[in-house]
């Protein structure tokens, strides 16, 4: 247990569905992240929230929509996805204070399959 939880752990959805992924961190951190992990490829940073404001949006298609209502919760809203969006979606959190070894703590991920 890393102090970061994600639900659901597995999700199968059709291309016309709308679903949301949820992440919660119990570590008192002030920054949260969404990553996409595809087989044999590096983790791709999707979004970064610091102090509940989005500070990074890595050219992610608009069919992915993040939401950060407070410093402990992060959502990823999904709509009209494509089969190539099937991947493991990882949430992470860290304490960011402008320096130091503030490593990121990852959740277990949501395995998403788009049919």
**Both structure tokens of 1:** 């247990």
* Three-state DSSP class for residue 83: helix
φ and ψ at 83, to 5 degrees? -55, -30
CB of 106 to another protein, least distance (A): 4
Strand bridging mode 110-114 / 10-13: parallel
- Per rule CB under 8 A, is residue 24 in the interface with another protein? no
CB of 10 to another protein, least distance (A): 11
- Per rule CB under 8 A, is residue 56 in the interface with another protein? yes
**Where along the sequence are the contacts to another protein (CB under 8 A)?**
2, 4, 40-43, 45, 48, 56, 90, 96, 98, 101, 103-109
């Amino acid at each position: 247990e890393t102090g970061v939880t994600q639900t659901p752990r597995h999700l199968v959805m059709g291309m016309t569905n709308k679903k949301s992924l949820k992440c919660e961190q119990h570590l008192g951190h002030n920054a949260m992240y969404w990553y996409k992990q595809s087989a044999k490829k590096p983790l791709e940073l999707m979004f970064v929230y610091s102090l509940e404001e989005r500070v990074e949006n890595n050219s992610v298609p608009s069919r992915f929509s993040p939401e950060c209502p407070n410093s402990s919760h992060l959502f990823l809203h999904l709509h009209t996805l494509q089969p190539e969006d099937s991947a493991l979606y990882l949430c992470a959190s860290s304490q960011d204070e402008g320096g130091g070894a503030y490593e990121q703590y990852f959740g277990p991920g949501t395995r998403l399959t788009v049919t």
